Amino acid sequence: MSTTAAAQSSSTGSARLPRWEHHIAGKETAPADGRYFASDNPTTGEAWYEAARGTAADVDRAVAAARSAFESPHWRRMSQTARGALLRRVGELVGENADRLARMESTDNGKLLREMTAQLASLPEYFHYYAGLADKIHGETIPASNVDVLNYTSREPVGVVGAITPWNSPLTLTVAKLAPLLAAGNTAVVKPSEHTSASMLALAPLFEEAGFPPGVVNVVTGMGDEAGARLVDHPDVAKLSFTGSTATGAWIAERAGRRLIRAGLELGGKSPQLVFGDADVASAANGVIAGIFAAAGQTCIAGSRVFAHRSVYDELVERVVGRARTIRIGDPLAPETELGPLAMRAQLAKVEDYVAAGRAEGGQVAHGGRRPKVGLGGWFHEPTVFTDLPNDARLCREEIFGPVVAIMPFDADAEALQLANDTAYGLAAGVWTTDLSRAHRAAGALDAGTIWVNMYRAMSPMSPRSGFKASGLGVEHGSEVIREYTRLKSVWINTSDEPAGDPFVLRS
C-alpha cells in the first residue's frame, strides 16, 4: 500500500482513503491514467480503501513483465527443485502473515474472521503440496516399433497465465491457481475482483520476498470490462484461469476459443443435499446449515437445494429452522458472530429479489426472508428457509449466492436422484445416509464433480475439484491440475549411426 493517503479521487470522489497500487514486475505501480476506485466495507457500507483502476495499458505492462520473467533464464532455467523451494518459502511467509491477511479479507468481503483465519492458516498447505510436486513433473519414454528410435515426452509450462479471481474467498481461490501454475514454471497476471483487491495486493510482495524473480507474479486491479477484458484478449496470455459466474465463464470460453487457448473455468452451482430416511437427521441438519449459511451462502458449492425423504422431512425442517433462528448475525470481526453481511449492496438486492420470487411462486418462508436489525449500516440478510417450492421454481433453478435454502420432500431414492440431477449445474452434492451401499449408489448416480457423504464443504489441495455441465471446465487442486498448466511435447530421436535412406525406396 502507498505510504501516503490518497487525495480526493477523480473516479470515486472519496477523500483521503488508503490507496493500493498495481503490483507489476515486483514494484508498486500507479495506474497509467491515474484513476482509482473505492472498495466498500460490507459491514458498515462505507468505503475503506482505494485501488488502482487498471486499463488496457496497465494489463499490457503486467503481461509484458510476466512474459519477460517467463523468458528470463533466472526463471526459465531454474531447476524444478529450486522452484519447489521458493514455493515452500512463500508458504512459510503466508503463514507468518496469516492473521493480517485474514483480517483484511474479512473486512473486505464480510466473511467471518474465524473462517478467514482458518482459510489463511491452510494456505501454506497449498504451497507446500505443490512445492513437493514441482520436481515430479515429467514425461515418459514411449516404446517404438524400431529399436533405433527413442521416443519420449516432456511437460513444459504454457507461458503467461491470466488468472481472474472472485470476491468470496479471494486468496484461497487465487492460491489454488498460483501454486500449481508456478510449480509448473509459468508466470502470472492476476486480476482480482474489484470488490476484494486488498488481500491479493498484500500477498503479492511476499513472492519477491521469498525469492521469486520480479515479474513472475503480477497483480492488476480494476473492473472486469476494462482490466479483465484486456487480460482475456491479450495475445501474449497463453492460458486463462477463471473462478466466478457461469455467464462470465461462458464469455471467457468463447473469447479463448477464438484464440485457440485453454481456459480453466470454475463456475456456479446449485448443489443438492440428499437426506435419506435412514440418515442421522441431527447430523444432516448441521450439514445443511454448514452448506448454506456458512459464508452467508456466498460459495459456489453452497448446498442451496435440500431433498429430504418424507419420513424425516418435518424433523429436518424443524431442526434447520430452529438453528437458523439462533444464528448470531453481526460484525464478522467479532468472535461471537456466526453470520456476517453479504459482500456487496448489489448482492443484497439480488438475494431480496430471489426471496420475493420464491414467495410469488407459492413458497412458504419457514424462517428469515428479511434484513435483520443489526445496527451496523451494512448489507445483512437473515438466514432464510423456504418450503413448499417445486424443483422447477426460479429460486430452485438459479444460483442465488446468498443464505437462502429450499427444502423439498421425496418418496423414493430414484426420485431424489432425478430431482438432484435436474439442474443446469453439476459442481457438488451432499448425501446423508447410514447405508454404505446407498451412499455408493448415490455418489455414482449424482451428476456433480464433488460428492460428500455425511459431511459437506470439505476440501484439500490434494483432492481434485471439477465442475460438470454449466459448473465449469477443467480441474483445480490435486496433481491432476498440473496438466492444465503444462503442454505435452513428443520428441523422436534416431539413435542409429546409419544415414537416412531415400524416402522413395522401400525397404524390406
Q: How confident is the model at residue 16 (pLDDT cuts 50, 70, 90)?
A: confident
- Could you give the percent of the chain with pLDDT greater than 70? 97
pLDDT tens per residue across span 73-126: 999 999 999 999 999 999 999 999 999 999 999 999 999 999 999 999 999 999
Measured CA to CA in angstroms, residue 351 lies from 248, 290, 340, 447, 478 at distances of: 19, 18, 14, 26, 33
**Cβ–Cβ < 8 Å for 339, 296:** yes
Extract the C-alpha cell encoding 10: 477523480
Higher local confidence (pLDDT), 205 or 144 = 205
- What pLDDT is recorded for position 506? 80
How many residues does this entry show for the chain? 508
* C-beta contacts of 97-102 below 8 A and 24+ residues apart: 97/202, 97/203, 97/206, 98/123, 100/202, 101/171, 101/199, 101/202, 101/203
Question: CB–CB of 200/188 below 8 Å?
Answer: no
Predicted confidence band of residue 131 (pLDDT cuts 50, 70, 90): very high
Fold classification of 58-267+471-490 is: Aldehyde Dehydrogenase; Chain A, domain 1 (3.40.605)
The pLDDT, as a whole number, for residue 1 is 56
In this model, does residue 491 exceed pLDDT 70? yes
User: What is the mean predicted confidence (pLDDT) over 147-165?
Assistant: 97
The answer to whether residue 476 is catalytic is no
Per-residue pLDDT at 12 exceeds 60: no
Domain range 272-453, its CATH number among 3.40.718.10, 3.40.50.80, 3.40.50.12370, 3.40.309.10:
3.40.309.10
Strand bridging mode 465-466 / 475-476 = antiparallel
Mean of per-residue pLDDT scores for the chain: 95
Q: Whole-model pTM above 0.85?
A: yes
Asked, colleague to colleague, whether 58-267+471-490 and 272-453 share their fold, the answer is no
**For the segment 298-353, what is each residue's pLDDT rounded down to a tens digit?**
999 999 999 999 999 999 999 999 999 999 999 999 999 999 999 999 999 999 99
CA angle 33, 65, 76 (to 5 degrees): 170
Question: What is the Rg, in whole angstroms, of the alpha carbon atoms belonging to the chain?
Answer: 25
Q: What is the mean pLDDT of residues 140-167?
A: 96
Report the pLDDT averaged over residues 210-214.
98
Is pLDDT above 90 for 474? yes
Mean pLDDT of 483-496: 96
Q: How confident is the model at residue 501 (pLDDT cuts 50, 70, 90)?
A: confident
Share of the chain above pLDDT 90, in %: 95
pLDDT at position 13: 45
Q: Which of 194, 208, 226, 266 is catalytic?
A: 266
Digit-coded pLDDT (tens) for 405-442: 999 999 999 999 999 999 999 999 999 999 999 999 99
Domain boundaries, the chain: 58-267+471-490, 272-453
